[in-house]
Structure 1
Amino acid sequence: MRDLNFFQNYIEKNEFKIDKKIIYFTVITFIFLSLIAYTVYNEIIIRQEKRIVVSLRETAEDPKTLKKVEEIRIKEVEVNEFKESVDKIKLLDKNIEERDMVDEALLDKINDNVPEELFLTSLSIQGEEIHIVGISKDKWAIAEFQKGLECIDNYDEIFVSNISKQEEYYNFSLNIKLRGVSDDTEDMEEGN
């Protein structure tokens, strides 16, 4: 008869043995299944991308789309030409403002120097000259007006070109030649 030892389980070490073939088979199966899953996943992604490419190609080759693209290109060219024209106009405007000597301040100075006995009937500005025509009660008012206009900046010459008496009034013409004003708008247009 054999003795029963209840403590034998605790005294002896049970060795856990794993079969190497099972480990190799499991690892190889896992790698194989991973490769298959990766291949299937890539195939699905490739098919989706092909559908997107086909859809984009159909859209790009659509006659309506091509017509709209051509219209947009034409409008883009027109917009660029318009921008260039606007830039030229701005430059021309800037040049005109820099050369403009006749402004509201100049007209105010002329108006401030008009004596009470003198009335202006005409004022014309042509290039670098201002022509003033008026009526006065006496010659002294005309001389006072001419002397008062010397406060104008940038003038070369102020002279009374004509004084004539009609009944009890004097008609006169006065010319002011401005300095720094030139009539070269044609030069500016040619430069732009």
Structure 2
Amino acid sequence: MRDFNFFSPYIEGHQKSKKKVQKTAILAVLAVLAIVAFPAMNYMKMKSLQQEILSLESYVGKEDIRKQLNTVEDKKNKISIINKYLAIAQVVSAQLEQVDKIHSNMLVNMADAIPQALSIKTLNITASEVQIQGVADDPDAVAQYEYNLKQLDWLDEVHVGVISADLEEKDNYYFTMNCKLKDVKPHDEANK
């Protein structure tokens, strides 16, 4: 038969409480270590970061690095200015593409229509109109030129505004002629 130890509950309870105290002590030590270790690790990280900042500041503080940074900044500014001008140029280019253009063959047609007794002194061309100023030997040459221009299919209204004789040289007649281009809207109407 087995022996009974009547004191065993007291001995086992004491051993269980010792284990509990040991576990609690170990957890307390670990907690204290964690409380001390985390700030210490953060302090060491902070010191290493401060050292890195100081080394980077000393590197950036060097004269040749400063010059390189200044040139990079200047180039960035120039690039931004160029990009602004490029945007403006693209807008202007798009607007120019929308405007009807006067081709070189139109100028050749106008030159071919000039009679022998007439010479052009000024030729102003806008998007919708051509203004011609010139000198002719007689008024019939101006009328012939007006007729020849009216025959061109890309001119709409051809009108001689002024013909005046030179008082000193009776063989010279100064004239101003206005011509409107066909199928061209005035600039104000095109923007509406």
TM-score (normalised: structure 1): 0.51
TM-superposed deviation, 1:175: 0.8
Q: Check 1:117–1:72 CA distance in 2 against 1; reply closer, same or farther (3 A cut).
A: same
For residues 1-192 of structure 1, the aligned pairs below 5 Å read 58-59=55-56, 62=59, 63-64=61-62, 65=65, 68-69=68-69, 71-73=71-73, 75-99=75-99, 101-125=101-125, 128-152=128-152, 154-166=154-166, 167-179=170-182, 180=184, 182=186
Percent identity for Structure 1 against Structure 2: 23
Letter in 2 for 1:96: L
Q: Which runs of 5+ in 1 are unaligned?
A: 1-53, 188-192
- SS of 1:85's equivalent? helix
Count residues with an aligned counterpart.
Answer: 132
Work out whether residues 99 and 127 of structure 2, in 8 Å CA contact, stay in contact via their aligned partners in 1. Answer: no
**Alpha-carbon deviations, 1:54-102, whole Å to 9, x = none?**
8898357522346744652453243133123123213313422542534
Letter in 1 for 2:176: S
Work out whether residues 157 and 179 of structure 2, in 8 Å CA contact, stay in contact via their aligned partners in 1. Answer: yes
Q: Check 1:74–1:134 CA distance in 2 against 1; reply closer, same or farther (3 A cut).
A: closer
Q: Which runs of 5+ in 2 are unaligned?
A: 1-50
Cα root mean square deviation, aligned: 3.5
Cα distance in 1 for residues equivalent to 2:74 and 2:163: 64
Work out whether residues 137 and 171 of structure 2, in 8 Å CA contact, stay in contact via their aligned partners in 1. Answer: yes
Q: Check 1:168–1:85 CA distance in 2 against 1; reply closer, same or farther (3 A cut).
A: closer
- SS of 2:96's equivalent? helix
State the structure with bigger RCO (CA 8 A, min sep 6), 1 or 2.
1
Which residue number corresponds to residue 38 of structure 1?
Answer: none
Letter in 1 for 2:155: Y
